Amino acid sequence: MIKPIELVIFDCDGVLVDSERIAARVQVALGAELGWPITEDEVIDRFIGRSNASVAEQVAARLGREAAVTWTERFTELHREAVDAELSPVEGLPGALDAITLPTCVASSGSHDKMRHTLGRTGLYERFAGRIYSATEVSQGKPAPDLFLYAARQMGVDPAACVVVEDSRPGVQAARAAGMRAFGYAGGLTPAERLEGPDTTVFHDMGELPGLLEAA
């Protein structure tokens, strides 16, 4: 028997704030600068939805540890500059949040500093303050289930009563591994087919989310 929903867990980048396009653009630029001619599609496949540590490991395997440190530092700097200049909430997101009556929290591969910055710049931080969890707090990031299980535990909710709103393949994989239903948002960078799978509802417009949650 499917349990009623008691908690909606939101990813941050690409779900709450429209930052994945910025991140992908910066990663492609860094690849050209540091000697890894990576495409946007490769960035989506390799980096989107994963923690900084996971990205750094991949860069180190390709370019060496020193380059990975430089890549991480440069990404933090360039991403912050672009966020300050152009970041906005995901289209339709503020209205969707207003319509959702269930308890919510955030669980992201990003650090707390990054989320304070991005959520703060878009006026969303206060909506989730005190209910924000980062992959830096668990041993394994997405696609492992650790982060979502940690968020559920902190919120005092059975994983089977949680749903996750994600926009990346590692994210929906982590939700499934945690025994949670997933809502895959395909209105951003990640194509719908990369989000599809068991216990996953794919949608393209954030305005649809309140109705989908109510129907579930």
Distance CA 85, CA 122 (A): 11
Q: Minimal CA–CA distance to 178: which of 140, 148, 138, 207?
A: 148
* Conformational region of residue 130, where left means phi above 0, alpha means psi within -120 to 50, and beta covers everything else: left
Tokens representing 12 are 């941050």
Q: For residue 20, give every residue at least 6 positions away whose Cβ sits within 8 Å of its Cβ, in sequence order, or none.
A: 13, 14, 48, 167, 168, 188, 189, 190
- State the Cα–Cα distance between residues 87 and 149, nearest whole angstrom: 29
**Residue of 11, 18, 146, 167 marked catalytic:** 11
Q: Is 98 labeled as catalytic in the residue annotation? A: no
Residues assigned a catalytic role:
11
